[in-house]
Structure 1
């Protein structure tokens, strides 16, 4: 099973391009979040590692 993770820094940014690329790569499960890069806590990234 392939996992993908995508993140953008602001709510104004769009995840569509990243999602399309991960789908083309064949990811079965994609985790995503909109959180600034300065924050250390990234819940969805942690969820992916714990899946």
Structure 2
């Protein structure tokens, strides 16, 4: 589970390479976030991960 904080887009964007690395190792990724960060992550990682909340 990856939970980027809603303290600006920097937290969410810095999580993207980490999430992609986890996916490359065939793990399931679940993201729990809110606000603008979740909207941006949904657009970038559509159909690659599961979103909660």
Same fold (TM over 0.5): no
Q: Which has the higher helix share?
A: 2
State which structure, 1 or 2, has the greater radius of gyration over its C-alpha atoms. Answer: 1
With the shorter chain as reference, the TM-score category is: 0.3 to 0.5
TM-score normalized with structure 1 length:
0.40
